[in-house]
Amino acid sequence: MVIEENLLYSMGASITTYAPAESIFTEGDWPAFYFQIIKGEVKLNNYNEEGKETIQIIIEDGQSIGESLLFMEKFYPINAIAITECQILKLPRKAFLDLLREDAEVSYEMNKCLSQRLYFKLIMTQNLSSQSPMVKLMALMDYLKSFAMDQQQYSFKIPLTRQQMAGLTGLCVETTIRTIKGMERARLLKIEDRKILY
């Protein structure tokens, strides 16, 4: 969801720049700001007890970060880490909640955004229980492609690296690479210049 930048500025937002691999917030922090990416890419992740990363979602230009926690009295259960250099608008929590109370259109769009994220989680949870790496990867690719206008075979370029796909599906990178090659042999996708066309 994109809240108009001028509206955010009028409510007291400011811009912060983050370097690649810099934390925007970490697990256990208190949600004090609404974050909206002007430019860049951010991942929300967790680490298990062995230090293996699980990527929850990758967020890019115009999207908000961790906004669902602003409605609760809970600490962040995830980390937000810049993948690329990012310019991010930060609006204090109280100002964000005031904006939603005052502007029905912004509130409606925020509900749509939260519903879309919940849908992604439901789809991924449903398919992560599968033992098949191909089922997990196809669920992720189907979800990503569902927002594209052109639904023809091989028309959609997957905007993720193999490592990001592994993190989002709970697979190891080697299994992800091997499965993608198998999917190419089965003509479920094409690879051109290392890009996956689905």
Residue-level pLDDT at 113: 86
- For 176-185, how does the pLDDT look when each residue is reduced to its tens digit (9 = 90+)? 999 999 999 9
User: Which residue's structure tokens are 């809970």?
Assistant: 74
Quote the CA–CA distance of 189 and 184 in Å, as a whole number: 5
Q: Which residues of the chain have pLDDT under 50?
A: none
- For 109-148, how does the pLDDT look when each residue is reduced to its tens digit (9 = 90+)? 999 988 988 888 887 777 767 789 999 999 899 988 988 8
State the amino acid at position 185 in one-letter form: R
